[in-house]
Structure 1
């Protein structure tokens, strides 16, 4: 799967509200720090995880499912195994009428679910991380001491 920088930049710039399915309350887990990062960039994060439902995270009540979200959601960020994606996508398509993007995290892919969402006019990104892409596309990797070019393990 290949996505142009222009496409990824457009998705990140237009996203104002993201529902993060599979978010963790553990600050060392990727789903926690990615969601936190997006929130720090001005994106409203709606956490979704049935294990932690009712708790508060990032100023929001953690929802048990997407069905509990009553406000418009621009993007769905999926932190679940690939085999869980079809059910999540089906639920999203039925209860999130304003959804523009489904983003599957690194290692998460499901061609049939992606095709189903794309047929409904929803942009789908698979096997990528919005935090990494945001940092790469908007120059924040330099802030951490990294160049935004190719990262190499080659010794100089």
Structure 2
């Protein structure tokens, strides 16, 4: 799949069918986008887990916080990545090691790595990059998961 453009229907479909989201790189700082997006997703009906090794066990954006994806005690539908692009391959590897695997890996604005995306897609995991669900949901008139 090319990651230069996504149909609105593709984005809307994914945002409608995921229910649990792990936000990798969630910050405890309310001024950081990762904090606000994690809260936004939780307020719109998603079950959200913050992933931040330095904050594990603490409250980040009112959410349970874990050091790594494997520590989340339930299946994750979507991994939302707030890390620099060079870290995306490692996040993809960590996500692919989960059982069950997430259905979708979402790279936030500025987070794009086509090789990492190809790795995820080859394993049957969908990828959206360089987008923000907190921007896409209002733009598409979405309320949350179906």
**What is the TM-score with the length of structure 2 in the denominator?**
0.91
Greater relative contact order structure (CA < 8 Å, 6+ sep): 2
1:6 counterpart = 2:9: yes
Structure 1 position 97, deviation (Å):
1.6
More deviation in 71-80 or 88-97? Answer: 88-97
1:129 counterpart = 2:132: yes
**1:25: which partner in 2?**
28
**1:55-94 superposed Cα distances (whole Å, 9 cap, x missing partner):** 0235532101111112011100000000111111101100
TM alignment of 1:143-154, pairs within 5 A: none
1:55 counterpart = 2:58: yes
Structure 1 position 95, deviation (Å):
1.5
**What is the TM-score with the length of structure 1 in the denominator?**
0.85
**2:112: which partner in 1?**
109
**1:145: which partner in 2?**
none
More deviation in 40-49 or 64-73? Answer: 64-73
More deviation in 45-54 or 91-100? Answer: 91-100
Are the aligned partners of 1:73 and 1:96 in contact in 2 as well (CA < 8 Å)? no
**1:44: which partner in 2?**
47
**1:146: which partner in 2?**
none
Structure 1 position 41, deviation (Å):
0.4
**1:152: which partner in 2?**
none
More deviation in 59-68 or 99-108? Answer: 59-68
**1:78: which partner in 2?**
81
Structure 1 position 138, deviation (Å):
0.8
Rounded Cα–Cα distance in structure 2 between residues aligned with 1:16 and 1:54: 22
Rounded Cα–Cα distance in structure 2 between residues aligned with 1:62 and 1:55: 6
